[in-house]
Amino acid sequence: MLLRRSFFAIFLSLSLIAIVGTAVQCRAQFSEPGGSALSIPESDRLQPAALAKLLNGYDAEKPLVLQVGSRLMFEQAHIPGSAYAGAGSQAAGLQMLESKVASAKKNKLIVIYCGCCPWTRCPNVAPAYKRLRELGYTNVKALYIANNFGDDWVGKGFPAAQGE
């Protein structure tokens, strides 16, 4: 009985070490230099269905919708009416983003999205969000794309456009 308990104790200890080790390894492999999208407050995340509803609405003022990820992906599919604003993970991309919002009022609703990768792996959306907040924009939302733009927007039947 004592031997059996010892076996389970060792097994449990090794299992916990393996789980913690795997989690630490994954975090190290996928940590994004510009900050993780997890840093964006939940209150500033917008679900795809909510954005689609907003864009379809007749009364509300339309938001400024900007894609802050890959240009090639934007050319393949993007939210109708949105503009490409440069990759948020790159300095040149953030400069382009600044130019895209330059004429917008500080309280204008700005929705940024990427969708290159799962939310927790996206290198673009958090730096773009951070820069807009630093510039004084007070109404910035990030479209919450759980997996990628293909699965979570196009695949779910929300409207999409192609080209530049």
Partner 1 sequence: MRVLAWGLLVALFCASGAKGIAQQTSLIGKQAPRFVRPDLSGKRIDLGELRGKVVLLNFWATWCAPCRVELPTFAGWQTSYGQEGFQVIAVSMDDDRAPVDKAVLRLKMNFPVILGDAKLGNDYGGVLGLPVTYLIGRDGRIAARFAGESDLKQMESAVEKLLSQR
Residues that bind partner 1 in the complex, under the rule CB under 8 A = 8, 11-12, 15-16, 18-19, 22-23, 26, 29-30, 32, 70-73, 75-77, 87, 89, 115-118, 121, 123-124, 147-151, 154, 162
Strand order in the sheet with 64-67: 45-46, 140-143, 110-113, 64-67, 83-84
As measured in angstroms, the least distance from the Cβ of 3 to partner 1 is 14
Closest listed residue to residue 79, CA positions, set 138, 131, 152: 152
Length of the chain: 164
Instruction: Name the residue nearer to partner 1 (CB basis): 9 or 60.
Output: 9
Cβ contact 105:138 at 8 Å: no
Shortest spacing between CB 51 and partner 1, in angstroms = 16
The distance of closest approach from Cβ of residue 76 to partner 1 in the complex, given in angstroms and rounded to an integer, is 5
Closer of 32 and 66 to partner 1 (Cβ): 32
For the CB of residue 105, give the shortest distance to partner 1 in the complex, in Å.
30
- The two structure tokens encoding residue 102: 């330059």
Q: Of 162, 163, 159, 145, which is closest to residue 45 (Cα–Cα)?
A: 145
Q: Which two tokens stand for residue 56?
A: 């379809």
Question: Of 137 and 149, which CB lies nearer to partner 1 in the complex structure?
Answer: 149
